[in-house]
Structure 1
Amino acid sequence: MTVDTGDFTAWLRDFEGAALLRDTWGDPDWGRGARLEPALVRSLQRFQVGEDGDGGSLTAKADQAGDRVYAETIRLFVAEEREHARLLGRLLEAGGAETIPGHWTDAAFVRLRRMLGLRTELMVLMLAEVVALAYYRAVRDGVRDPLAAEVAGRILADELRHVPFHRDRLRRSFEGCSRPSRTAVAALWWLLLAGAVTVVALDHGHALRGVGASRTAFAREVVTAFGGVVADVTRP
């Protein structure tokens, strides 16, 4: 089914510009090594798994939406996510640690994302994006290792663009929906967010404390960011 995704040319140019900027910057100086606390290593390993998907389901659904520009932009988004996985993998290597093949939280998240169509996949993906904002900001601002701070800062800069990109597409997808439908979707979305932030806060709590962020402060930041997204997406 063809869906009107609107004009995403500006977003396409934005992602192309970000790719050019990354090429200009080059990689961090991996040779300086990294000193990572064990709790942070375990946490980064799990986030690395989450960033390392092939994006096949998302790109296929974007193709089916019938907007070539949007589909091309989604491919650049997927490439950025895979770049995040590469950066995290190199950071772990610099810290003397390995990546892991998988984690149950990522497997559950992927299954949930792929259940229905493009809108559902983007709504579930948005949960990960707002969680990532709070997580990478906490690592960037609180970790003592300069290399880890640089990697987290680079990823955070991308995530700050990903949230409004997906928000714009989701907002268009709700045009024409009734107020009761929007209210019901928002309630379910909040329920999913509550589950996601609880799992992440518990699973990564030791790492968050190690960079000076409490579970409560982390959850509060996620909820605040998500509240703005829900309001923008579901407003009439």
Structure 2
Amino acid sequence: MDYQSWKQHFQSNQHQFDHIDWHVVDHLTEHEKETICTSLQQFQRGENSEGKHLLKYAKKFADPSYAEAIKLFIKEEQRHAMILAQFMDLHKIPRIKDHWVDSIFRALRKYAGLENTIIVLVTAEIIAKVYYRSLGSATDSIILKKICHQILADEDQHLLFQADTLHHFYRDSSRLHQIVTRSWHRLLMTGTIFVVWFSHRKVLKSNGGFFGRFFMETMLVYFEVERSIKRNLATSPERGRA
């Protein structure tokens, strides 16, 4: 899609959590709460970003609609953080102000250009695709299941949105640049998988998961993003230069 269409998509999705009924009786057992508490705190913090550096880079992009779409994308991520915080407040799970993993990802986004910032974002969103499936199955909470289901639907669109942007960079770059960029992304993806498993294995193992399965499921999402970029390149009027 073009960025005007993405802007319209994000505008139409601004009330995606309105269907959640906060008046239902929602239970978490002590065991369930202990399983998700630390992990949920970290992910809620990670979803909550002002996106100042991303927006700064986006304003330099050739298409002015891109910056407008990015503003709405950032607001959507912030709504994820707010809805998770609302659930945490309901079950008296305290929020945290920072975490070392989140700080590393923010630093990687802060000190690089738009292309690398998008690569870091895509990496986090690929992880989110697998994580929120596990979180949704980790408890019997009706509200948490609905939250995770909606976030997963949003993440599907986020990955397509970011793949569209990476396509622009690949299209206008040399073959060597594409190889180096893809290698860097795979290295970052692999390292992130190990870090996330170490930090969130209680949730990821709660429904019979194990490291090999988590690694495989995450890389399958990663390769689907790669295929999406390649499909865009194949139909693009301008191909990457040799």
- With the length of structure 2 as denominator, give the TM-score of the two structures: 0.88
1:157 paired with 2:153, answer yes
The aligned residue for residue 217 of structure 1 is 213
Alignment equivalent of 2:79, drawn from 76, 80, 83: 83
Q: Residue in 1 aligned with 2:3?
A: 8
Matched pairs, number? 229
Q: Post-superposition shift, 1:140? A: 2.2
User: For 1:1-236, what aligned pairs fall within 5 Å after superposition?
Assistant: 7-19=2-14, 21-22=15-16, 25-29=18-22, 32-35=25-28, 36-233=32-229
Q: CA deviation at 1:66?
A: 3.9
Q: Quote the Cα distance in structure 2 between the aligned partners of 1:123 and 1:117.
A: 10
Q: Distance in 1 between matches of 2:76 and 2:20?
A: 14
Give the drift of 1:10. 1.4
Which consecutive residues of structure 2, in runs of 5 or more, have no partner in the other structure? 234-239
Deviation sequence 1:119-151 (CA, Å, 0-9, x none): 110011110010001111222244322121111
For structure 1, the 5+ residue unaligned runs are 1-5
Helix, strand or coil at the partner of 1:37: helix
Q: How far did residue 27 of structure 1 move? A: 4.5
Cα shift at 1:67? 2.4
Q: Which moved more, 1:31-40 or 1:130-139?
A: 31-40
| Letter of the 2:190 counterpart | A
Shift of 1:108: 0.6
TM-score by length of 1: 0.90
Q: What is the CA–CA distance in structure 2 between the aligned matches of 1:202 and 1:166, rounded to whole Å?
A: 27
Structure 2 match to 1:3? none
* Letter paired with 1:99: R
SS at match of 1:204: helix
Instruction: For 2:76 and 2:21, locate their aligned partners in 1 and report how far apart those are by CA, in whole Å.
Output: 16
Aligned residue for 1:54, secondary structure, equals: coil
Distance in 1 of aligned mates of 2:105 and 2:46: 9
Shift of 1:160: 1.0
Q: CA deviation at 1:22?
A: 2.5
What SS is found at the alignment partner of 2:171? coil
- Asked if structure 2 preserves the Cα contact closer than 8 Å seen for 1:9 and 1:69, the reply is yes
Following the alignment from structure 1 to structure 2, what is the Cα–Cα distance between the partners of residues 34 and 69? 43
- Contact kept, 8 Å, 2:39 with 2:203, in 1: the verdict is yes
Identity of aligned residues (%): 28
Counterpart position of 2:236: none
